[in-house]
């Protein structure tokens, strides 16, 4: 079975839109801080803007000028953190090389961290959260319990939080990375494989057991074409697999948009408590 992201993402976006309808004319606002020099980050920002507009969310993009310093980012974030009209803030990575990505990313208020990148954020990062949602949709909520899951990649925004969410669902989890020896020994026994490496044709059919479930997080460009980490053509008849594009990507965006009315209501509640 091909696990398309679009129907799952559309259902999430519909749900977000109806939550916004219930806000009686009040509208959450997302601010995306972009790096106009990075074409990939521009594409990611554009997809988020499109989905927000569809759901009736206001979006503002702020393009940081070339050579922006850490302090310039911090000044802007301090202003946005204080601004009651701003519900969520995204610093679209990568930022300008003249600023420190870690310092900048961690300066967003937890109340406005829609990406879920902060350690104490209300939410886990969007990509792994979206993948769990997708697995629930296609496989049912109890599917992961007792399954042998292999996550390839150990980044802070995909691999590590993915492993935690799988563990929270009672899967038996192995995290593999560039120093893992004999990767195939792990993947070949996995019921679920999450590939978040960023290398085309990395996961091939000889590495996967029949009827496994493969989630391809990778985004790579080959001859101008977008592809994932997996040899999709040879895997699609062997196991369940997400396509690239059209698999995990739409889920990441929809998960993010779905959080905005939730954050908005939390902020309204907090304000009301202050006023008491």
Helix-strand-coil split of the chain, %, nearest 5 = 45, 15, 40
Among 155, 172, 174, 201, binds ligand NDP (CB under 6 A): 155
Residue 31 binds ligand NDP (CB under 6 A): no
In terms of CB distance, is 159 or 267 closer to ligand NDP?
Answer: 159
Sign of CA dihedral 61, 105, 131, 202: positive
Q: Is 109 exposed, middle or buried (0-12, 13-18, 19+ CB in 10 A)?
A: middle
Please say if 115 is a catalytic residue.
Answer: yes
Residue 41 binds ligand NDP (CB under 6 A): no
Q: Which two tokens stand for residue 218?
A: 């990778």
Please say if 72 is a catalytic residue.
Answer: no
Q: Which of 113, 115, 191, 240 is catalytic?
A: 115
Q: Considering only 17-25, 46-54, 56-64, 171-179, which stretch makes contact with ligand NDP by CB under 6 A?
A: 171-179
Contacts (Cβ under 8 Å, ≥6 apart) of 189: 148, 209
Beta strands 148-152; 58-63: pairing state = unpaired
Residue 248 binds ligand NDP (CB under 6 A): yes
Residue 12 binds ligand NDP (CB under 6 A): no
Residue 243 binds ligand NDP (CB under 6 A): no
Cis ω before 15 (30° cut-off from 0): no
Q: How far does Cα 136 stand from its chain's mean position?
A: 16
Residue 256 binds ligand NDP (CB under 6 A): no
Residue in 100, 45, 39 with CA at minimum distance from that of residue 68: 100
Residue 178 binds ligand NDP (CB under 6 A): yes
Beta strands 148-152; 172-176: pairing state = parallel
Among 68, 187, 242, 252, binds ligand NDP (CB under 6 A): 252
Residue 197 binds ligand NDP (CB under 6 A): yes
Q: Which two tokens stand for residue 193?
A: 């494989």
User: 240 and 212 in contact (C-beta within 8 Å)?
Assistant: yes
Minimum distance from residue 272 beta carbon to ligand NDP (Å)? 35
Residue in 190, 198, 156 with CA at minimum distance from that of residue 171: 190
* Site pattern 75..114 for ligand NDP (x: CB under 6 A): ----------------------------------------
In terms of CB distance, is 34 or 252 closer to ligand NDP?
Answer: 252
In terms of CB distance, is 80 or 152 closer to ligand NDP?
Answer: 152
Minimum distance from residue 163 beta carbon to ligand NDP (Å)? 11
Among 219, 230, 239, 241, binds ligand NDP (CB under 6 A): 219
Cis ω before 138 (30° cut-off from 0): no
Binding footprint of ligand NDP on the chain (CB under 6 A): 127, 152-155, 157-159, 176-180, 183, 196-198, 217-220, 248-249, 252
Catalytic annotation, residues: 48, 92, 115
């Amino acid at each position: 079975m091909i696990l398309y992201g679009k129907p799952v993402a559309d259902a999430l976006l519909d749900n977000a839109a109806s939550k916004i309808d219930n806000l009686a004319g009040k509208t959450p606002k997302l601010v995306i801080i972009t790096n106009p020099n990075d074409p990939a980050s521009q594409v990611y920002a554009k997809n988020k803007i499109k989905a927000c507009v569809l759901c009736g969310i206001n979006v503002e993009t702020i393009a940081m000028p070339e050579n922006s310093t850490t302090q310039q980012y911090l000044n802007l974030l301090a202003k946005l953190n204080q601004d009651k009209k701003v519900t969520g803030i995204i610093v679209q990575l990568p930022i300008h090389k003249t600023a420190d990505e870690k310092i900048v990313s961690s300066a967003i208020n937890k109340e406005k961290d829609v990406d879920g990148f902060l350690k104490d954020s209300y939410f886990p990062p969007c990509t792994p959260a979206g993948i769990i949602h997708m697995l629930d949709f296609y496989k049912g909520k109890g599917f992961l319990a007792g399954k042998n899951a292999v996550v390839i990649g150990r980044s802070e925004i995909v691999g590590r939080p993915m492993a935690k969410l799988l563990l929270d669902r009672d899967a038996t989890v192995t995290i593999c990375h560039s120093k893992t020896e004999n990767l195939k020994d792990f993947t070949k026994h996995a019921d679920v494989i999450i590939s978040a490496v960023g290398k085309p044709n990395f996961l091939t059919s000889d590495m996967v057991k029949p009827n496994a479930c493969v989630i391809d997080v990778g985004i790579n460009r080959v001859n101008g074409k977008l592809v994932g980490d997996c040899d999709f053509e040879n895997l699609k008849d062997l196991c369940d697999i997400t396509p690239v594009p059209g698999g995990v990507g739409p889920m990441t965006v929809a998960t993010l948009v779905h959080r905005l009315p939730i954050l908005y209501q939390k902020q309204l509640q907090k304000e009301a408590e202050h006023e008491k």
